[in-house]
Structures are given as structure tokens and as C-alpha cells.
Amino acid sequence: MLEGNRVSRISVRGFAVASATAVTAVGSVVGVASGSVAQNNNDAEATAADTTLLADIPAGQQAQVQSASLTQQADAQAIAADASAKKGAEEAARKAAADTAVAKKAAAEKAAEAAKEAAKQRAETKAAASRSGDSSDASFPVQSSYTVAQVQAIARQIVPSGQFQCFSNIVDHESTWNYQAVNASSGAYGLVQALPAGKMASAGADWRTNPATQIKWGLNYMNERYGSPCDAWTFWQANGNY
């Protein structure tokens, strides 16, 4: 009987050592997941030696040791999974922010380039208008009357080629190229229907009878008020006037 008890105690002690070793191994996993330094083999052996006293715990309670070991394993896995998920989310957020920054920069550069080009075109248009405005009326011999074709030919010499169609569109709607057109209700006059009509005197005293004077005034008006004839035409299409 004494020998039998000794065997039973050794068996129980062996099971306790194995359980303690499993607990120690799980503890090491948890320590790694939380950033702790793993214990060396000597510490593990010392812990295992100390826990041999668990053999004195009744067999029914030893099941709790196994349950605790499984719980620690699950906790360690959960911690590792959370850390991995957090790292992945942070990386995805950084990538999304970088992509957004690149897209915004490209859009800003494109808008700046478009604005620069528009400003250049307006400057060229104004320069051309200024040059044509400085031309003497001798370039356009004064006549007692002008046909539509003659008025359009004069306009082609004054208005920059890239803006002529827009200028023509406005004149078509305002006066159908009649340099003596009068709006009976408002008093607007001429090719571009200046209102009041006397404003065209700033381009020449012969504004009533000389289409060249009216064209110069109209071109200057469109450049100063809208930026160019094409910008004036865009406004006209949206509002029915300019």
C-alpha cells in the first residue's frame, strides 16, 4: 500500500509539472504579445520545479489549471490579432491619406495651369485690341454707307482672329451687323447696341456713322467688362444680354 501511494503521488506530481509547464509556456506567449522579454530556459525550469507543489491540489481542482491555460492561450491570440488588425488599419489610413494628398495636388496644379493659360489669353487679347485701337481711321476709309460684308471685313481686321466668332455672335444677336440699328424702347445704338449710345464717343466722334469706331469701342468694352469677346459671349448665352 505504501508503494502504491508513492506511485500515485508521482503520477499526480508529473501531471502537475506538465500543467505548470503548459501554463509557463502560455505565459511566455502572452509576454511576447505584450512586448515583454521572454524568460530564459533556466527561469522556466525553476518555475516548473516550484509548481510541483500543485500535486498536492486535489485532482478535481487540477482541471481548473488546464482551463486557465486555455484561457491564457485564447487571450494571447486575441491580443496578437488586435495588434495585427490595428497595424493594418493604420497602414490603410496612411495610404488613403497619401492618395488623397496626391490627388489634391494634381487638381490644384491643373487648376493653376488653366488659370494661367486663361490669364495669358486675356492679356494677348487686350494687347491685340490695344494695338488695333491705336490704328488710325485712315486704315478704314470713311464711306457714306457700308454693306454687311464691308462691316464684317472691318471687324476681322480689328478683332483678334481667335475672338472674332464670339464677337460676331454677339453682333448677330444685337444688331444683325447693322451699324445704324436703334432700339426703339431703350435707345441702344449701333453694332453692339451701346447704351447710352453716346458712350461710343470715347472711341471717336464719328461713332454714329463709322462702323470701325463702333467695333473698336465694342471690343474694348468686352475686354474690360468680361475679359474677352468669348467671355462676353458666354455671359450673353446665360443671360440674353451683356
Q: Which of 40-44, 133-137, 157-161 has the lowest mean pLDDT?
A: 133-137
Estimate to the nearest angstrom the gap between the alpha carbon of 175 and the chain centroid. Answer: 44
Q: How far apart are CA 58 and CA 159, in angstroms?
A: 108
Question: Which has more pLDDT, 138 or 154?
Answer: 154
Nearest to 162 by CA among 132, 128, 113: 128
* Cis status, amide bond into 196, omega within 30 of 0: yes
The percent of residues above 70 in pLDDT, for the chain, comes to: 66
Q: What is the pLDDT of residue 227?
A: 96
The least confident of 65-74, 112-121, 198-207, 230-239 is 112-121
**Cα 150 from Cα 162, distance rounded (Å):** 20
pLDDT digit string, tens, across residues 73-106: 888 888 988 888 888 888 888 888 888 888 888 8
Rounded mean pLDDT, 26-47 = 46
CA distance 60 to 15: 13
- Give the per-residue pLDDT at 70: 82
Angle CA(65)–CA(4)–CA(21) in degrees, nearest 5?
A: 25
| Most confident stretch, 36-40, 55-59, 88-92, 110-114 | 88-92
**Contacts of the segment 8-11: beta carbons below 8 A, 24+ positions apart:** 9/55
| 180-231 pLDDT, tens digit each | 999 999 999 999 999 999 999 999 999 999 999 999 999 999 999 999 999 9
Supply the pLDDT for residue 146: 95
Distance, in Å, from the CA atom of 238 to the CA atom of 76, rounded to the nearest integer, reads 68
Indicate whether 61 pLDDT > 60.
yes
Q: Which residue has the cell 494634381?
A: 106
| pTM greater than the 0.75 cutoff | no
- Provide mean pLDDT across the span 164-188: 96
pLDDT in tens, 121-148: 666 655 555 554 444 444 688 888 999 9
In angstroms, rounded to a whole number, what is the distance separating the alpha carbons of residues 132 and 127? 9
Residues whose CB is less than 8 angstroms from the CB of residue 46 and which lie 6 or more positions away in sequence, other chains included? none
Q: Output the average pLDDT for the chain.
A: 77
Distance CA 44, CA 169 (A): 94
CB-based contact 228:122 (threshold 8 Å): yes
| Distance from chain centroid for Cα 238 | 28
